[in-house]
Structure formats: structure tokens, C-alpha cells
Amino acid sequence: MMDAATITTWMNEIAGAVRAERDYLIQLDAAIGDGDHGINMTRGFDAVVRALAQEEDGTPGKLLTLAGKTLVSSVGGASGPLWGSALRRGGRALGDAPTFDDGKLVEALEAALAAVVDLGAAVLGDKTMVDAMDPAVATLRREVDAGTVLPVALRRAAEAAEVGMRATIPLQARKGRASYLGERSIGHQDPGATSTALIVRALERTVAGSQ
């Protein structure tokens, strides 16, 4: 079973990962966006870490919802609203329970993905974060339903996210600022898919470290 500490550790892992890859995310975004993705993600998840540190008695669902609200209020561009909506929807899926199991984690991530799709109106192949998030969530669902232990299931989900991330390179962007470039967006890895893969890897490390 996982609990509030799982959520807090995950958010800290994300903050560390996006901070470490900040310049790389800026470089990717500079090629097909406005170059601020690494800055925004770092600012946002640093703010999340600070917000969660002040929340003493939150349930997992409440903490995830707080993380989402914090991202919306502290991050510009598309990443704040998208990840903010995702985490808030995931938090609602977890509800008020003090702990959650593998199946509930999958439900929360499926809800998060649905929030991203609803807000961004993107599907697989549009060269967005969905290209990493969708295969990760689908893989996790399949592995958990098959009885795979969670650390292994998450490792496979993270691998699926990274495959999806790399698969954005030959795509032409159909959503977001990158879509304005048309064919010039081809040949560049999507920054949103890249940070999404970092977030899934952070979840894998969180769970693996708690086993």
C-alpha cells in the first residue's frame, strides 16, 4: 500500500529530475516552442515541493490535488494547466482514503491522462505529452491487471513513456505552439513528452525505493 509519503516523495523526485534536465528541456523547447519549458517545469515543481512541505496531515488524494492547484497558479505556458489538471483529477480519483493500492494508482493515472486529453484535445501522434503519457498508462494498466509487481510494472511503464517520447521526433506537431511550424517541427523531440517521461521515471524510483 502507498500513502501520503508516496505522493510527497514522488513530487520531490519530479522536482529533482526536471531541475537536473532543465537546460535540456529548454533546448528542446527552443527548437519548436518558446524555450521556457524547462524553466516552467522547474518553477512549478519547486513550488509544489514547498506547498506539500507545509501540509502536515493531507491524504494522498488531497496532496495530489494540492500539487495540481499549485502548478496551475505558479506555471505559465501549457504545462501548468495541463499537469495541474492532471494531478487534480488524479487526486480526486484517489479520494479521501489514507492509503491506496496498485489498482487505485492506475485509476488515478488514467484520470490524469483523461484530464490532459480533455484540456489539450490531443491524441496519440499529435507530438505532445500524450505520446509519452498514453503508452505509459496503458502499459501500467496491462501489467497491474496481469499481476506484475508494481516496481516492475512501473519500470515497463517508464520504458513505454520513453519509447513514446522518442517516437515524437519524426512527427509533425498538430497541437500547441509547435504546430505553427508545420513541417519544420519534424525532426525534433517534443519537450512535453520528454518531461512526461521524466515524471513517470520519478514515480518508478519512488515506488522502487519504498519496497
Q: Report the alpha-carbon distance of residue 29 to residue 48 in Å, rounded.
A: 22
Closest CA to 80 of 120, 111, 27, 31: 120
DSSP 182: G
| pLDDT confidence of residue 184 | 84
- Kind of pairing, strands 2-3 and 99-100? antiparallel
User: How far out from the chain centre does Cα 201 lie?
Assistant: 9
| pLDDT confidence of residue 102 | 97
Residue whose cell numbers read 491524441: 123
| pLDDT confidence of residue 33 | 87
| pLDDT confidence of residue 176 | 78
pTM of the model: 0.96
Longest dimension (CA), the chain: 50
Q: What are phi and psi of 2, to 5 degrees?
A: -110, 160
What would the grid cell of residue 161 be? 513513456
What are the chain's domains?
2-210 (1.25.40.340)
Consecutive 10-residue averages of pLDDT for the chain (211 residues): 97 98 96 91 97 93 97 87 96 97 98 96 94 98 98 98 98 83 90 97 94 68
